[in-house]
Structure 1
Amino acid sequence: MKRLADIRNWSALLVGILFAVGLSISGMTQPKKIVDFLTFGAGWDPSLLFVMIGAVPVYMITFRLVRGRKTPVLDTQFYIPKRTEITKSLVVGSVIFGFGWGLGGYCPGPGLVSLGTGSVTAIVFVFSMMSGMLIYRMYERWSELRKKN
């Protein structure tokens, strides 16, 4: 069992490194590139569109192949969300994510990868993201306590 856990950990590390390299090569760790992509007009940079055009078919094919299996290669079950409804929390979270991405030029993955550069903007972004997550968790707990009383 320990050997399987070791293989899982090493494969997760390898996939994480591959993901980080892909984000770096594609320019997703450069806030200016992201903002230029999200800003339509004279300075619009469509290069990230080509990243998406390449990524979406790979994802679609891989997802179908993986879903055809009974279990994952390195685990006993898949961890795929079952919920499909659009909730108020989902919409509000998506809007906040979009504003943060457009204003800061980072989304969570590239922001974490950019920490490795020591960039002040990446540090501020990740600190702000973690603070937002903590505030939300505290709000949820407060809401649960309020419902009980």
Structure 2
Amino acid sequence: MRLVSSFIAGGLFGAGLYLSGMTDTAKVQGWLDVFGNWDPTLAFVMGGAMIPMAIAWRVARGRKSSVLGVPLPPPPSREIDRKLILGSGLFGVGWGLAGLCPGPSIASLSYGGPELYVFVAAMLTGMVVAPFVRSRLDKAVPAE
């Protein structure tokens, strides 16, 4: 049952990304171009994602497990630290340059061109390398 619900949720997520335009790199870069030809339509996508998620966090607040019996993860940390700032900065730069982030890039694999495969390969490489780089940085410059 868990695999079936994961498949359905993933399919809905991918379809939502496609229908909302999040897999269109020009649309994403148009959203980020606030001083040029700005396209504000992705604000509706973000609002459409944040509102249900806020409700879901509220409902899940008192629960220990999901409807399927899987333990729920703890709420995210509210601490603003070096990892959060560096990670969000790198994410934003990559999103701005490529016009894609992990979810839409995976959703686009079925119809993307060679550039998309290069992006996904680089993204996966970054995901594998990041923990090693982070541990080296933590040893070199300990967090306060």
**Structure 2 equivalent of residue 46 of structure 1:** 40
Q: Which of 70, 77, 87 matches 1:83?
A: 77
Give 1:102 deviation, angstroms: 0.4
Aligned residues: 140
1:121 corresponds to 2:115: yes
Which of 112, 124, 127 is residue 106 of structure 2 equivalent to?
Answer: 112
Bigger fraction of residues in helix: 1
Do the aligned partners of 1:31 and 1:105 also contact (CA within 8 Å) in 2? yes
**Which ranges of structure 2 fall in alignment gaps of 5 or more residues?**
none
Distance between the aligned counterparts of 1:97 and 1:39, measured in 2? 16
Which deviations, in whole Å up to 9, do the C-alpha atoms of 1:84-123 show, x marking residues without a partner? 3222122111100000000000011001111111322221
Instruction: Tell me by how many angstroms 1:27 deviates.
Output: 0.2
Normalised TM-score (structure 1): 0.83
* Superposed displacement of residue 72, structure 1: 1.1
Worse-superposed segment, 97-106 or 53-62: 53-62
Alpha-carbon distance between aligned partners in 1 of 2:51 and 2:76, rounded to the nearest angstrom: 23
Structure ID, larger Rg:
1
| Cα distance in structure 2, aligned partners of 1:41 and 1:105 | 17
Give the Å deviation of 1:23: 0.2
Match of 2:6 among 12, 19, 33: 12
Unaligned runs of 5+ in 1: 1-6
Aligned to 1:4: none
Residues 95 and 42 of structure 1, relative CA distance in 2, 3 Å threshold: closer
Q: Which runs of 4+ in 1 moved over 3 A?
A: 140-146
Partner of 1:3: none
**RMSD of the TM alignment (CA)?**
2.1
Aligned residue for 1:43, secondary structure, equals coil
Q: Identity of counterpart residues, as a percentage?
A: 40
